[in-house]
Structure 1
């Protein structure tokens, strides 16, 4: 019985098992030359691979010497088994050859619905299915008395034209479903009607009240300017901007002109008062210039860094490196925002060449620091005396591996011109958008090679972080 998994009362002997599939043999065949037995299907699949040898002893096989083993098949069919649905509750036992006959009447066996619906279910559940669930069962509608299949009846329910229903607008009227569309279209007091002015929908018994306050209802201008059909909601704008009989302020009222006249006379006033309007605008421009200067000063004051350190993030690293390599924008030097060594201290700035500068050009990242003119230079010690530390930060996860920052520290040479008191930057020191070489600053042209940067985790999310810190020695006054 191909396709069935048997549940034997006792474990079958080893000689009943197929050596190829390790299951009870189905349609057993015997190789007469060596006596080994196999499932007919298993042996055919084995031989289809082109190996014409016995799977057990590897001796050559001859198709003419493979025969069905009827005796062994009868022994297998005589083995005692349980029903394949024993775990579901069936208590039948018998010989293997009796299983097929039992399954034809077993209440736990899965069978197709006799009405040819897609369902397959246990034989014992079939009566309930045929009576209540089968989509192919026959049912009669209580209202129109037509007969339908179960599937069609479910679609018919709620749509039968002979069923008595209430109006969907909840006006309280009950009628046959086939009369409901006409009622809702022309008779129902709760039906929705569009306002002919604003096109919004309202209930039939409330639309008259809406007309008393409809924003699109045409009204007349109270100034009697003669403009026809002004929508109620547009009347304030009409009176303020369009009504020719309405008085308006001069368009230069924000600049200080107090003149008021009818809208039609505004053009004449503008022609006559050109010079006075120009004086007013000049005053506005001067006041705005002072305000902008004050705002700019406030912004600079709020953005200053006075703790002696700078953390500089360079985003879009790959694009900026490519621009530096091709010198697309002329200047390949990038400038950080200025920062202070300490409060009322030295004003500093870090610069970098992503593609290197001088001896590091094309192979390294170069970093420099410049001393900028500051507000407190007249009170400070010169030349610049404090030690400077540069770091390229390793962006590795600290919980996984210890970051390996690249760090270099130097103490300023008092004889180096870059650490003398700086002079204000003149326009002739700027060439092509970059500072003159004398303004380069002091640092490392070979701070880190491009190869080392690629090996480490210094570039992450297409960004690098450069840190600069100033070791300021605080004087303690006793």
Structure 2
């Protein structure tokens, strides 16, 4: 309206009825203008909300991608640990497996396995932990044999993080002819596992907060310093 602002004339309360009845068309036009103005504002706000929602979704996707690239590839939550250890002690289920995970969005597919009561000569003395490479969708594009450092961590659940004493085991795969079955490109569903039979002494589970509320957490981080990222 060329920068002009229309200011409605003021009216005393006692003259209001006369004022309204005397100018019905003008008041109706003013009411319509107000409705149109509010409708336009609501439309703009709706468009802004849609744009903001799409931006938030985009940021969530980027954050998820960055976590996969730069965070731990797997944090395995093991619930009802005591039951699982009892079953392993009795020989019913000596090994449990994590969900499979990716080292990056289009990287190696892997899975962890844990022997809650130990494996082989370490049975009854240590937790035994292993990792294996599974057949993945992007194997044809990756570097073989697998040679990247893997760090496995049993997380101390002490409520005060500064007092936590995590137990850590690091594997630096040695690429040799004898290790090709472990580190080469899988030809079946998954390769044989490699890791540590003596990961953590079972006696420490009673003195540290590695198991809290019958839950254990194991973290796996695969080093990507020289890994081909697609």
1:371-390 pair list within 5 angstroms: 371-390=133-152
1:457 aligns with one of 209, 212, 222: 209
**Structure of higher CA gyration radius:** 1
Would the alpha carbon gap of residues 476 and 421 (structure 1) be closer, same or farther in structure 2, given more than 3 Å must change?
Answer: closer
Please list the CA deviations of residues 145-166 of structure 1 after superposition, one character each: whole Å capped at 9, or x if unmatched: xxxxxxxxxxxxxxxxxxxxxx
User: Structure 2 unaligned runs (5+)?
Assistant: 1-63
Whether contact under 8 Å (1:373, 1:422) holds in the other structure is: yes
- C-alpha RMSD over aligned residues: 2.3
1:108-153 per-position Cα deviation (integer Å, ceiling 9, x unaligned): xxxxxxxxxxxxxxxxxxxxxxxxxxxxxxxxxxxxxxxxxxxxxx
Total equivalences in the alignment: 159
Instruction: Name the counterpart of 2:111.
Output: 349
Give 1 or 2: higher helix fraction: 2
TM-superposed CA distance for 1:394, in Å, is: 0.3
Q: What is the rounded CA distance, in whole Å, between the counterparts of 1:318 and 1:410 in structure 2? A: 27
Write out aligned runs for 1:24-423 (5 A): 306-307=68-69, 309-328=73-92, 331-398=93-160, 402-415=163-176, 416=179, 417-423=181-187
What is the deviation of 1:425?
2.9
- SS of 1:319's partner is helix
* SS of match in other structure, 2:163: coil
Runs of 4+ in structure 1 off by over 6 angstroms are none
Q: Mapping of 1:430-469 within 5 angstroms?
A: 439-469=191-221
Is the 1:359–1:446 contact (alpha carbons within 8 Å) kept by the matching residues of 2? Answer: no
Q: Deviations over 1:67-95 (max 9, x none)?
A: xxxxxxxxxxxxxxxxxxxxxxxxxxxxx
- List gaps (5 residues or longer) in structure 1: 1-301, 427-438
1:310 and 1:364 map into 2 onto residues whose CA distance is 22
CA apart distance, 1:440: 4.1
What is the distance in 2 between the residues matched to 1:377 and 1:358?
32
Relative distance call for 1:460 and 1:476 in structure 2 (3 A) is: closer
Contact 1:360 1:446 in 2 (8 A): yes
